A and B are shown apart, each in its own frame.
Chain A
Amino acid sequence: MADPITLTIDGKQVNVPAGTLVIEAAKQVGIEIPAFCYYEGFSLQAACRMCLVEVEKMPKLQPSCTLPAAEGMVIHTESPKVVDARKGMLEFLLTNHPLDCPVCDKGGECELQDMTFRYGAGESRFVEIKHHVDEKQWSPAVYYDAARCILCYRCIRVCDEGLGVGALGLTYRGVGAEITPSHGDHLECDECGWCIDVCPVGALTSGTYRYKSRPWEMNYAGTICTHCGDGCKTTLSVRNGEVIRANNRDRSGINDEFLCVKGRFGFDFVHSPERLQSPLMRRNGKLEPVSWSEAIGLVSDKFLEVAARGGSFGVIGSTRATNEESYFLQKFARQGLETNNIDHHRSGDVATLLDALSGKTKALATVNDLYTAKAALVVGADLAQQHPLLAYQLRANWRHHQSSTYVVSEGPVREDQYAAKSVRAAAGAELAALEGLREDLKKHGDLVILFGASVKGDAVRSLVAFGDSLGIPVTYVCLVDYSNSRGAMDMGVLPDLAPGYKAVDKPGMNIDEMLTSPTLDVLWVVGANPLEHTQLKNEKAFVVVQELFLTETAQRADVVFPAASAYEKSGTVTNVCGEVQRLKAGPKVMGAKPDLEIMGLLAKQMGLNLGIWTPDKVFEEIRRSVRGYNVALPVIATGGAAPTMPVNGRIPVSPRPDLIRPSGDTLFTSGTLGRYSRMLNKVMEAPGQLYKP
Chain B
Amino acid sequence: MGIENLWESMPKINEILSGAAAIAKGMTVTIKEMMNPVITDDYPDAPPVFQERYRGLHVLQRDENGLEKCVACFLCSAACPVQCIYIEAADNTDQLRISGGERYASVYNIDYSRCIFCGYCVEACPTDAITHGHGFELASFNTSTLIYRKEKLLAPLPEGTTGALKLDHPVAVGDAGH
Contacts and interface: CB of A to CB of B under 8 A. Distances in A.
Interface of A: 98, 100-103, 107, 130, 132, 134-135, 145, 147, 210-214, 216-217
B174 A102 contact: no
B127 to A, nearest CB: 7
Contacts of B127: 102
A108 to B, nearest CB: 8
A130 B174 CA distance: 14
A211 B91 CA distance: 6
A100 B77 contact: no
Contacts of B101: 100, 102-103
B172 A214 contact: no
Contacts of B178: 98, 100, 130, 132, 147
Given A103-B71, A107-B73, 8 more contacts: A100-B101, A100-B102, A100-B177, A130-B178, A135-B102, A147-B178, A210-B91, A211-B90
B82 to A, nearest CB: 16
Contacts, number: 49
B103 interface: yes
B103 A217 contact: no
Contacts of A211: 72, 89-91, 102-103
Nearest to A105: B103
A8 B126 CA distance: 43
B173 A135 contact: yes
Contacts of A135: 102, 172-174
A216 B90 CA distance: 17
B45 interface: no
Category for how many chain B residues contact A:
20 to 34
A213 to B, nearest CB: 7
A217 B77 contact: yes
A173 to B, nearest CB: 22
B148 interface: no
A211 B72 CA distance: 8
B67 to A, nearest CB: 13
Residue in B75, B126, B174, B175 whose Cβ sees the most chain A Cβ within 10 Å: B174
A551 B77 CA distance: 42
Contact of B73 (A103, A145, A212): A103
B93 to A, nearest CB: 11
A216 B87 CA distance: 13
A103 B102 contact: yes
B177 A103 contact: yes
B89 A212 contact: yes
B74 interface: yes
A132 B77 CA distance: 30
A109 B72 CA distance: 16
Nearest to A132: B178
Nearest to B175: A134
Contacts of B173: 134-135
B172 A134 contact: yes
B153 interface: no
Contacts of A147: 178
B98 to A, nearest CB: 12
A213 B89 contact: yes
A217 B74 contact: yes
Contacts of B126: 101-102
A302 to B, nearest CB: 45
Contacts of B103: 103, 211
7 closest A-B pairs by CB:
A102-B73, A211-B103, A214-B74, A103-B101, A211-B91, A102-B126, A103-B102
A107 B103 CA distance: 13
A163 B74 CA distance: 35
Nearest to A100: B177
B119 to A, nearest CB: 19
